[in-house]
Amino acid sequence: LFSMYLDRAEEEDKKVVERWKGDADGILVFTGLFSATVAAFLVGTYQNLQPNPQDTSAFYLASIYQVLAASNGDSKAIPFPLTPPPDPSKFKPPTSAIWVNALWFPASSSASPAPC
């Protein structure tokens, strides 16, 4: 009687293990896709938290131009643009960029330990 029970229980255990393997594989695939998607969005939105490098270059070039024009005493120098480039030291990321990244970073870190 006990050997019959043991055979039946072993059979059921194998079925359960196979189901668990299938579930684990599905979870791993989902977690991998989720992580890749979040990483793609994170790379795109993280740039909004930093000043534009082109604005920084334009600011320093305009500053160099002003110094050179002033040191030469050149009255025929090209006038400075009407709107000077923004000062990179005064850069403040938009509130929306802060909020979006504040949500993407935890989503990214929560996807990593899921398969463990």
Per-residue pLDDT reduced to its tens digit, 31-50: 888 888 888 888 888 888 88
Read off the tokens for 69.
């024009």
Distance CA 27, CA 78 (A): 63
pLDDT at residue 111, as a whole number: 66
User: Over the chain, what is the mean pLDDT?
Assistant: 82
Reported as a pLDDT band with limits 50, 70 and 90, residue 23 is: confident
Read off the tokens for 73.
């005493």
Query: Hey, which bits of the chain come out as E strands?
Result: none
- Per DSSP, 113 falls in state S
Read off the tokens for 24.
């684990």
Per-residue pLDDT reduced to its tens digit, 45-97: 888 888 888 888 888 888 887 777 777 776 666 666 556 777 888 889 999 99
Amino acid type, 1: L
Where does residue 38 rank: exposed (0-12), middle (13-18), buried (19+ CB within 10 A)? buried
CB atoms within 10 A of CB 111: 19
Whether 22 has a pLDDT exceeding 80, the answer reads: yes
Listed in sequence order, the DSSP H helices in the chain are: 2-46, 53-72, 95-111
